[in-house]
Amino acid sequence: MAGAQEMVELWRGGLLESTHRGHAVICDEAGQIVQAWGDPGRIIFPRSSAKMMQALPLIESGAADAFGLTEAQLALACASHEGAHLHVDLARTWLAGIGLGESDLRCGAHEPSDRAEGDRLVRAHEAPCQLHNNCSGKHSGFVTVNKHIKGGSEYIEIDHPLQKAIRAAVEEVGDEAISGWGIDGCSAPNFATSVGSIARAMSRYAVAPEGGNTRERAMHRLTRAMAKHPDLVAGEGRACTELMRAMGGRVALKGGAEAVYVAILPDQKLGIALKIEDGNERASQAALVSLLVRVGALDAAHPLAQKRLPAVQKNWRGFTTGELRLAGAFAQNA
């Protein structure tokens, strides 16, 4: 079994300061590995990069169509958003439209990452609510399915019919039994599987036809919703939003906590999964840009690519202090 591969380095003053190791897999339209670094069998928690798989029951159950969900709402169901006004308002409107409210969610509340919304809360002497949670869109999708199937209110329990459906979806689209599960930051189960399995799942999203079977149609709708609404999937300044914009809505990207990224590339008929071992986000973004460039999806000269690779490090006075670079064999194959 291969170990993690050196992928990204930070240099300062002409000396190597940090090295980030990881695993990455690219799968083709048949779900076969066409290129890999590190160990494709490395078991990881996909964290929020799994949201488009967790959203499959929303469409496959018939709930999305029964409640007339929009493409924007499907994008929000796959989001790790900033808690900006547009995210919060869309989640609130969604819940109201199906006869539910914020109290029906089980994701918990936290301060929004969006500065404008955070400032508004302070000025209004308001506490953040669950709609500000970066996973409120996913949980809005969860409660929509739950209402449709008339499930119990504690939809995040591992033995709830919704979570059983999600587990089955993760195993089926990745063609691999899960290796365990843990509790995610939003309190929902997160199913552990291999980097290779996740890449295989993303390749199947990439080639899913609009007129295919129930699952293929669901994958197609979710991919297109994410690619067309990058502002809803993450937020201003975030890698997913900026890089999807840079690629003109042709690619769907999704990050997860602890330096996980996935990419769905319909034009290239490829799926990508990436994990940096030490959980470093700057390294995962640099590695992701490298992979998108090497498969021909992203122009390396685009400012939003250059922002992340090579990512020049500057201090508070604007002095250049260092630079992120690709490492070793990973750089040679770029």
Q: How many domains, the chain? A: 1
Report residue 237 as tokens: 């300044």
Measured distance between the N- and C-terminal CA atoms of the chain, rounded to whole angstroms: 23
Question: What does the pLDDT read at residue 333?
Answer: 65
- Backbone phi, psi, residue 270, to 5°: -130, 155
Question: What does the pLDDT read at residue 2?
Answer: 78
CATH number at residue 268: 3.40.710
pLDDT band per the 50, 70, 90 thresholds, residue 332: confident
User: Helix, strand, or coil here: 256?
Assistant: strand
Mean pLDDT for the chain overall: 97
Question: What does the pLDDT read at residue 75?
Answer: 98
Q: Does pLDDT of 139 surpass 80? A: yes
State the Cα–Cα distance between residues 38 and 20, nearest whole angstrom: 12
pLDDT band per the 50, 70, 90 thresholds, residue 1: low
Question: What does the pLDDT read at residue 334?
Answer: 63
Q: Stretch 231-260: mean pLDDT, rounded?
A: 97
> Could you tell me which residues come within 8 angstroms of residue 311 by beta carbon, excluding any fewer than 6 positions away?
282, 285, 286, 323, 324
Model pLDDT for residues 155-200, shown as the tens digit of each residue: 999 999 999 999 999 999 999 999 999 999 999 999 999 999 999 9
Q: Stretch 75-80: mean pLDDT, rounded?
A: 98
Q: Stretch 75-104: mean pLDDT, rounded?
A: 98
Range of the domain at 144: 5-30+38-332
Q: Using CA atoms of 144, 147, 150, 155 in order, give the dihedral in degrees to the nearest 10.
A: 60
State the Cα–Cα distance between residues 4 and 323, nearest whole angstrom: 22
